[in-house]
Each structure stands twice: as C-alpha cells, then as structure tokens.
Amino acid sequence: MTPRLRALGGADRHEALAFLAESPIENLFLASKIAAYGIDRRRLGNIHAFERDGRITSLLLDGGTVFVAGFDPEALPAFVGQLGPVRRCSSILGPSVSVLGLYVGLSERWKGSWGNVSNIRKRQPLMLLEQPPEAEADPRVRQLTRDDYTSYLDASVHMYTEEIGSSPFKYGSGYERFVMQRLVDRDAYGIVEDGKVIFKADLGPKLGRQAQLQGVWVDPALRGTGLSVPALSGMLRLAMVRYPQMSLYVNDFNAPAIRAYERLGFAEIGALATVHY
C-alpha cells in the first residue's frame, strides 16, 4: 500500500494511543492529551497520521503546540505540506531528529511564517527516574495552594522569561489561568518563605503511572547555595507517591542542571527538541 497521510477522528483514539505507547516517555505530551480529551479538534487541534500498509509510523498534532511523534523520513515533507504557510502554533516539540527535520522543511518552504523563531533547543536530553531519590530532602517543600498564587505566578513568569527569552503574556492573558490550574490540580510544589516562593517545580503532562517534571526554578539570590538538589528531592518524593515514573527534558547546555538531575537518580533515555516562536 502506498504511504499516505490521514486525518484522525474520534474513532482512531485507541489506535493513536497504541502507537504512542510504543515510546511512552517520549510521547507523554501527546498521549496525555489524547487520553484526557480524545481526538477532539476543538480541544487539541488536528491530528494527522502518516501510515504505511495501514500502520501508523508517525503522528502530527497541529495545535497550539505542534507535536511530532515517531520518525519516518517520508512523513516530514507530508507534515510540512499539511501545516502549510500559516503558522498557528507557539512551539514545535518532539523527538529531536523529527522536530529539526520538520522545522528545516517548514522554514525553507515558508521562511516568513516559520523561520522567525525566539529560540531553537536542538537537543534536550530526555531523562527518567523510576524510584524516589536518595538525596537528602528539604523538609520545607510542600504542595502549593491557591493561597500561594501571587508569588507562584511571579516565580512562574520569571522562570518562563529566563527559559524562553520572552514574556508568557505575549499571546494574551491565558498564562494566569494556566498557572492557577496547576495549583487547582495539585501539580505545583515549592518552598515559601515569608510569603514568597523561593523554589518551585511543577508536574506537566501526566498519564497512568508517569508524569513529567517541569518549571523548576530557584530564586536567583539563592542559586549556588546548594538549595536545588534537596528541594527537588523533597518535591520528587512527594510527587512520586502519585506518579512513580518521573521524566523530564533539559537543555543540553545546562550542565549544572544535568548534574543535579543525575545526582537525584535521573538517567538519559533519549532526546527531544523544541522550537519556540
């Protein structure tokens, strides 16, 4: 059968999840969304499958984030054509080889809309932890609540701006709702002193036994004081009661962070890439 690109619908949910489960850590972002919302254009965006002999070899989410799952060299030009000249997303995420191939194809064909980026993280080691860290835990770490909202929002904005190089408000006011939802969902952890969040770490995508660590931030005045490893150890011990398989991805140039994650027991299992607009 000739390879083909096919738009997925609600009836394809099980097939899409089965494909994503072949690389569950790598594909957690998309799998968690499909598991929660189904294949729903209004909630997620459009999902397209590249198939060979009726079998999915790669998936594309065309939404607020473009996510590509799996690697098939012939899928990338098909995805480029499907995404087209009008960019609606704020980022591209997925396995590094697929993301970089997709970005090159898009930026070469439609440079004006796809070539103007905030930054490109070409290689972000994907790391996995499957047992609570042995490192000493900071006992001050706790789940944050809505009472911590104002300071947690400030910390989240600082973290985002440092990481991405632009404000999270550049696309509107939705970031406040996103931050509040993390508090509501009990996915935010931190240390609060005198009403101020001095350390925070969040849970991102979640599915079954696994979750992804995101949004790690330490007050700049306290960096280099040895706070991060005990604080993360405390956060992970709390979070892994709910999600015993914890993953993360980190910029390859952030050597101090990688060393800290290794001290906590994380091991590299792959690499993602992100293009931010």
Q: What Rg do the C-alpha atoms of the chain give, in angstroms?
A: 19
- Residue pair 157/167 in contact by the 8 Å Cβ criterion: yes
Residue 2 half-sphere exposure toward CB, CA atoms < 13 A = 3
Superfamily of chain region 129-268: Gcn5-related N-acetyltransferase (GNAT) (3.40.630.30)
For residue 1, the model assigns a pLDDT of 65
What are the φ and ψ backbone dihedral angles of 103, each rounded to 5 degrees?
A: -60, -45
Segment among 12-21, 35-44, 91-100, 267-276 with least mean pLDDT: 35-44
As a whole number of angstroms, the distance between CA 48 and CA 43 comes to: 15
**105: Cβ contacts below 8 Å, ≥ 6 apart:** 76, 77, 79, 80
Element containing residue 62 per DSSP (H, E): strand 55-62
The β-bridge relationship of strands 46-52 and 55-62 is antiparallel
Q: Look up the CATH number of domain 4-116.
A: 3.40.630
For residue 170, the model assigns a pLDDT of 74
As a whole number of angstroms, the distance between CA 159 and CA 146 comes to: 19
As a whole number of angstroms, the distance between CA 207 and CA 26 comes to: 12
More confidently predicted of 171 and 271: 271
Where are the domain boundaries for CATH 3.40.630.30 in the chain? 129-268
Average pLDDT over residues 6-11: 96
Please write the tens of the pLDDT for every residue from 49-101: 999 999 999 999 999 999 999 999 999 999 999 999 999 999 999 999 999 99
Q: What is the pTM of this model?
A: 0.92
Residues in the chain: 277
What are the φ and ψ backbone dihedral angles of 155, each rounded to 5 degrees?
A: -65, -40
User: Where do the DSSP E strands lie in 84-221?
Assistant: 91-95, 119-129, 142-143, 188-193, 196-207, 210-218
Using the predicted structure, report yes or no on whether residue 245 has a pLDDT greater than 80: yes
